[in-house]
Each structure stands twice: as C-alpha cells, then as structure tokens.
Amino acid sequence: MATAKTAYAPDYAIPPGRVLDERLKAHGISHAEFARRCGRSPKLISEIVAGEAPVEPETALQFEKVLGVDASVWLGIEAEYRLHKAREAETQDAGLAGAWYRRFPVNDLVKRRCIERPADDADGVGKLLAFFGVASVEAWRRRFAAANVAYRHSPSLESSEEALSTWLRLGELAAERRACVDYNESGFRAALKEIRGLTQAPIGVVLPRMRALCAESGVAFVIVKPLPKTALSGAAWWLSPRKAVIQLSLRHMADDHFWFSFFHEAAHLLLHSKRDVFIEGARDDRSELEEEANLWASNFLVPRRRWISFKATGPRSKVAIANFAREVGIAPGIIVGMLQHEGVVPWTHLNGLKRRYRWAHPNEDQ
C-alpha cells in the first residue's frame, strides 16, 4: 500500500494582507489611495489586510500593476496561507477525533506495514483517514459504518465496528489490486463447480487456482488474516457493478469451515442484493438471507436428497464418512462439519478427518 510522501510543511504562514500592508508602508501609499489605484473599494482592501477576505486572481492582477509584484506571487502567498489555516483546522479536528482513532487496531496495521507508526493521536487520525481513503471521521462513518451491512453473529463472538471496518478495508485494497474480468454469472457458476472439485487437494495448490477461476468470472477472492475483535469468517460484497468480492479470514483454520464459508459467500453474490455487504460471523440482523445462503451452500456441496439419505444411516464412523465423501466428490472434513453443525455428531467427534491450515504468509492478500 502506498504511503504519503514527506513534504515541507512549516508550522506558520504569512497572510497576504500582512505582506500587502508592509509594501504599502514602504511605498508610502495609504489603504484608501491603494484602493483607488486598483479600482476596488477601501472596504475590500481593509478586509484583505485584516485577513478576512482572500486575494482573488483578478485582485492579484491589479496588485501586480500597482505594486509591480507578479500576480502569481500574491496568489501563491494566498494559497499557502489558506492551506495552513486548513491544516490548523484539521489538526484541531484530529485532536477531537483522538478517541475515535484509539478504538482502531492501529498496532496491527503498523505490523502489517499498512501504515507507519503514528507520532501522536493527531498524526494517527491523519494516517488512519488516509488508510481508509476518506477526508474526515464523518466521511468514514458514512462509508464504513453503513447501516446496510447484513450481519450473522454468534452471541458470544461480538466484533467491534472499528476492527470490522478495518478488516473490510484491507480486503477492499487487496481486491482493488486483483485483476478481474467483468462479472459473469454463468461463468461464476461454472467456476464454482470446478472449485468444488478442488476441496480434496492441498490448500497450496487450491488457492492459486481458486483465485484464477474467480478472477476469470469477475470475482476477486481474497484472504485477510483476522484482526483482534473481529469474530468473523468471511464477507461478500460488490466493489463495483462489474466486480464482486469474496473475502475470507481463515479464522478457524480448518477445511470444513473454509469451504463452507467460501460457498456461503458465493451464495450471497448469486442470490442477494448488490447494495449490501454480507458478513458471516457477525451480528444476526438478516437471518433469512443467511439461512438462504447456508441452504444454497449445503445443497451445492452435497445434493439434498443424498444428504438426507446419508444422515438417515446414522453415520458415526470415519470409514462411512470417508466413503460418502469420496462418492460425492468432496473432502471428508466438510462432511464432518456438516454433521456437527446439524447435531448428528458432537463437535468433539471425528475432527481427525478435517484438514488444518496454517499461515504460510502472515499478511496473505494484504
């Protein structure tokens, strides 16, 4: 991620009115006389001297003719002064925004080399706003604290709004870097069928192929390591009308959770609105939509009739589950996870059939 370049930024600026007043005194010209020579009102000249009115281009040209100082000089002094005043106001606002800034996982962003370590709260606010690509705290609230985010949540795993928005922004930046064709629904459905067949392959082989298949159908597939206070597994949203995003966290690091989360998020892209952001593992505000995504993912992984018949056998052994997984063409760990989720077997049973993942690259898509 690009960082801002160091620039010369003095902590003072001279108002053009002060320079004008000094020039007039040096030439022995009163304010009223100068106003008359410029063809402007004495009130305007007094306001410029007092710093209450700006030097406009037309005024700068008049100053040039009367005092012999190039118009660009006057406009440059004016611009520097106004920029300095804006920075002062921003710094004051940043001081007030310090409490907002301290709620974010700044240390994690520094460790992931997304921002440089802030010198103080005011500096941190500026760096955080730049990271989010917004100009103010209010702009952040309008963009990232959106009311149209569909959450699914386990009551004991609450995610903080600030950490959640940071994780989503990391995914957004990664998705922006991912080259994709324009979204094509039929192409995405075909890609999902091929991806389903990859569930038994090693994850190191799977991920590059998944990314390529998704990109070839207009979906940016990214993995972003979870942040503290982000009890979530994945998200799905639209970066633009022609580019969708599936973002996973690998929070549980097990194959059943990884694959179900992926197909759950894919279901949101296929079934639901392009205006919403769907987050799996957050607050359950739209259970109907989440249940639709769950059902679609389950049926896609294992056809409903075959699943019902298999459950009716009361599967408890590794051999029975491995055989069924081979028949339907998916990893046995997924079958275990589905049985556990539906209460057929306890969460403590048959976990040896699941594959466990690890972070080969801590920052992954960041």
Q: What angle do CA 193, 194, 200 make, to 5 degrees?
A: 110
Ramachandran region, residue 95 (left: φ > 0; alpha: ψ -120 to 50; beta: rest): alpha
Q: Rounding to the nearest 10 degrees, give the CA dihedral for residues 269, 275, 280, 284.
A: -130
The label of the residue with tokens 């991806």 reads 195
Tens-digit pLDDT profile for residues 16-34 = 989 999 999 988 999 999 9
Say how far apart CA 206 and CA 194 lie, in whole Å: 11
- For residue 128, give the H/E element and its range: helix 121-132
Given a contact cutoff of 8 angstroms between Cβ atoms, the answer to whether 219 and 180 are in contact is: yes
Q: So what's the architecture of 16-93 in CATH?
A: Orthogonal Bundle (1.10)
Tens-digit pLDDT profile for residues 184-225 = 999 999 999 999 999 999 998 999 999 999 999 999 999 999
- The total number of residues written for the chain in this structure: 366
C-alpha neighbours within 13 Å on the C-beta side of residue 262: 29
| pLDDT the model gives residue 147 | 38
- The identity of residue 338, as a single letter, is M
Neighbour count for residue 249 (Cβ, 10 Å)? 25
Strand spans (E) along 217-293? 219-223, 234-240, 243-248, 277-280
Closest CA to 268 of 283, 260, 258, 278: 278
The label of the residue with tokens 């997924």 reads 334
Give residue limits of the domains in the chain.
16-93, 99-144, 149-302
Say how far apart CA 294 and CA 14 lie, in whole Å: 63
The per-residue pLDDT string of the chain (366 residues; one tens digit each, 9 = 90 and over) reads: 444 444 444 455 788 989 999 999 988 999 999 999 999 999 999 999 988 899 999 999 999 999 999 999 999 999 998 888 777 776 666 556 788 889 999 999 999 999 999 998 888 988 999 999 998 888 888 887 653 444 433 444 456 888 989 999 999 999 999 999 999 999 999 999 999 999 999 998 999 999 999 999 999 999 999 998 888 889 999 999 999 999 999 888 899 999 999 999 999 999 999 988 888 764 444 578 889 999 999 999 999 999 999 999 988 899 999 999 999 999 999 999 999 999 999 999 999 999 998 876 544 665
